[in-house]
Amino acid sequence: MARAHLTIDPAFTIGPVRRRLFGGFVEHLGRHIYDGIHEPGHPSAGPDGFRRDVIELVKELGVSTVRYPGGNFVSGYNWEDGVGPVAERPRRLDLAWHSTETNQVGLHEFQRWLDLVGSELMLAVNLGTRGPKEAVELLEYANVPAGTARAAQRAADGREAPFGVAMWCLGNEMDAPWQLGHRDAEDYGKLAAMTAKAMRQVDRDLELVACGSSGRGMPTFGEWERVVLTHAYDDVDYISCHAYYQEHDGDLASFLASGVDMDAYIESVIATADHVRAVKRSPKRIDISFDEWNVWYLTRWQEQARHFTIDEWPVAPRLLEDRYNVADAVVLGGLLISLLNHADRVTSANLAQLVNVIAPIMTEPGGPAWRQTTFFPFSVTSHAARGDALRVAVDADATDTATHGSVPVVAAAATSEGSSLSVFLQNRHLTEATTVTIDLSAFQPTGAVSARGIWDTDVRAANDLRDTQRVGLRTNDTARLSDGLLTVELPPVSWTALTIA
Ligand code: AHR
């Protein structure tokens, strides 16, 4: 049996847990929108075509801000195609995903869906095939209350009140060779600064995100952030991070420790942003918008993409429909632990994505909607992580990984609000349970402890259309609290959330 000893003290805070840490991402991609959230013929669809069963699941997931409409898609998107009478909207080639975009859902429809879900809109502008002019035009259309042509156009399109979008992404993954309009850091940094300045001339209070690298493994990583921020530091509020993890060649031990990579990624970007701050002698601090993160079996997608033929442009094809198992969910729980442990600087994050496309929620046309395994750690953390993130001192046995070296067998994060405390734990051991003792004496806890999580004797177990409820949340009844010391036994390959009143 492995062991870990943790100490948590309310005096040692990291920072407030902002609701935006639990954002989602909806891209026009595959069956995300069409035949996902929007399926007019489905028995649960309302008059607006949105599936109510999906809306209920999204609410249960607890998603705060939703990034829209891409992703790679946005770098070829004309926002004007998605407004005005639906019947008159053009069908366009979506070059990013080799599909046909019908534009049946655009800004107005998506905002209506968000109103039903109760989430905030975060918009990305196209800096791939377009520029500052179109970004400002979209901003005018979306946010200017009245008195201009575009505000009037919005009212004529059915919405008198402005959308009031606060957070904007200045393009998407502009460092990436696969991105439409991809450019080098110098060019993008200047473009981001120029676009931000123009947008702030409309509204100086916007929150603007410059594109960081599309991954820590990109050859330009680090230098990209430095150069972009050198140009745009004064004009933006956030630099983005994107990270996707998958199990390579059956190396589950390394995969389970993906949070170690995410920690290093975040800390490098903070160091780079703070270096630029020092050089500029700026009082301003740039935070991280981790606006794409998830488990994604990217190599499967790369294989699928090789088979596109030039004359095939399907509407809503099945793309990136990863089926997540228990191990994937345990990894996702570990990534949430990493985000919480950096809550002082990662002040916004978006799980990529939400429905059908590398998603916690799946749907079948005319059929059910269901929770993937990854749904559970996200929804539990989103609801339980409140107040302040606390520093957790971890003294744990080590476990070896091929990719990350020797890592603590347990990863942990904690949050507290008022008299309630939540602790999130990941056991990375492949075969052994780990006994965790947590010194909570500084809290003088007296209340009840509940422990829920995800584990299974079959770490490859998953939910799918044949069995939508194979995997669910489980209760761990080993948790005991005595004299300020909490003891719990974590099964191998598991993720657990403890709440102590
Ligand atoms: O989330 C899928 C894709 O991953 C996004 O469109 C892109 O930004 C990233 O490469």
Which domains are present in the chain? 1-17+317-344+386-501 (2.60.40.1180)
Q: Which atom of ligand 1 is nearest to the CA of 358?
A: 1
Distance separating alpha carbons of residues 131 and 4, to the nearest angstrom: 52
Choosing from 125, 172, 357 the residue with most ligand 1 atoms within 8 A of its CB, the one to mutate for a pocket test is 172
What pLDDT, in 10s, does the model give residues 439-448? Answer: 999 999 888 9
d(CA 312, CA 365): 21
Nearest CA to ligand 1 atom 2: 71
- Amino acid making up residue 309: T
From 27, 77, 98, 245, give the residue whose CB has the most ligand 1 atoms within 8 Å, as the site to mutate.
Answer: 27
Question: What is the reported pLDDT for 305?
Answer: 79
**What pLDDT score does 166 carry?**
98
Report pLDDT for 364.
98
Beta bridge pairs of residue 439: 7, 485
Ligand 1, atom 7: nearest CA belongs to which residue? 71
For residue 376, give the 3-state DSSP assignment: helix
Cα 29 to ligand 1 centre (Å):
9
Report the nearest-CA residue for atom 9 of ligand 1: 71
Give me the long-range contacts of 376-379 (CB less than 8 A, separation at least 24). Answer: 376/329, 376/454, 376/471, 376/472, 376/473, 377/329, 377/330, 377/332, 377/333, 377/336, 377/453, 377/454, 377/495, 377/497, 378/22, 378/61, 378/62, 378/332, 378/336, 378/351, 379/60, 379/61, 379/62
Contact at 8 Å (CB) between 26 and 66?
yes
* Nearest protein CA to atom 3 of ligand 1, as residue: 71
How many A from CA of 71 to the centre of ligand 1?
5
Task: Name the residue with the closest Cα to ligand 1, atom 1.
Answer: 352
Structure tokens at 92: 């366009």
C-alpha to C-alpha distance for 293 and 115, rounded to whole angstroms: 24
Say how many Å lie between the CA of residue 485 and the centre of ligand 1.
Answer: 44
Which residues approach ligand 1 with their CB closer than 6 A? 27, 70-72, 172-173, 214, 292, 352-353
CA–CA dist 37, 31 (Å, integer): 8
Q: What is the pLDDT of residue 447?
A: 82
| pLDDT value, residue 501 | 83
Distance in Å, CA 328 to ligand 1 centroid: 19
Ligand 1 centroid to 291 CA: how many Å? 10
* DSSP reduced 3-state for 200: helix
**What is the pLDDT at residue 275?**
98
Tell me the CA–centroid distance for residue 57 and ligand 1, in Å. Answer: 23
pLDDT of residue 162: 98
Residue nearest to atom 4 of ligand 1 (CA): 71
Give me the amino acid identity at 369. Answer: A
Helix (H) or strand (E) holding 267: helix 258-280
Nearest to 471 by CA among 455, 484, 488: 455
Pocket test for ligand 1, best of 67, 292, 295, 357 (most atoms within 8 A of CB): 292
**Regarding beta strands 369-371 and 388-396, do their DSSP bridges make them parallel or antiparallel, or are they unpaired?**
unpaired
Looking at ligand 1, which atom is closest to the CA of residue 97?
Answer: 6
Partners of 412 in the β-ladder = 425
Burial of 328 (0-12, 13-18, 19+ CB in 10 A): buried
Q: Do residues 443 and 10 lie in contact, with contact meaning Cβ atoms separated by under 8 Å?
A: yes
What pLDDT does 279 receive?
98
Tell me if 108 sits within 8 A of 84, measured CB to CB: no
Residue 171 Cα, ligand 1 centroid: separation in angstroms?
A: 12
The pLDDT tens digits of the residues spanning 281-304 come to: 999 999 999 999 999 998 888 887
**Cα separation, 373 vs 454, whole angstroms:** 8
Spatial separation of the C-alpha atoms in residues 482 and 497, rounded to whole Å: 19
Distance, in Å, from the CA atom of 108 to the CA atom of 116, rounded to the nearest integer, reads 13
- Residues with a known catalytic role: 173, 292
Instruction: Report CA Rg, the chain.
Output: 23
Residue 419: predicted pLDDT = 87
Helix ranges restricted to H, 104-247: 107-117, 132-143, 149-156, 185-202, 223-232
Give the C-alpha separation, 114 to 210, whole Å.
24
- Tell which atom from ligand 1 comes closest to the C-alpha of 214: 10
pLDDT value of position 300 = 85
* CA dist., res. 71 & res. 82, Å (int): 16
CA 301–ligand 1 middle distance (angstroms): 11
Closest residue (by CA) to atom 5 of ligand 1? Answer: 71
Pairing of strands 238-245, 287-295: parallel
Residue 206 in contact with residue 252, Cβ under 8 Å? no
> What per-residue confidence (pLDDT) applies to 446?
85
Q: Which residues of the chain have pLDDT under 70?
A: none
Residue nearest to atom 6 of ligand 1 (CA): 71
Ligand 1 atom, smallest distance to 178 CA: 10
Residue 173 CA, closest ligand 1 atom number:
8
Amino acid letter at 140? E
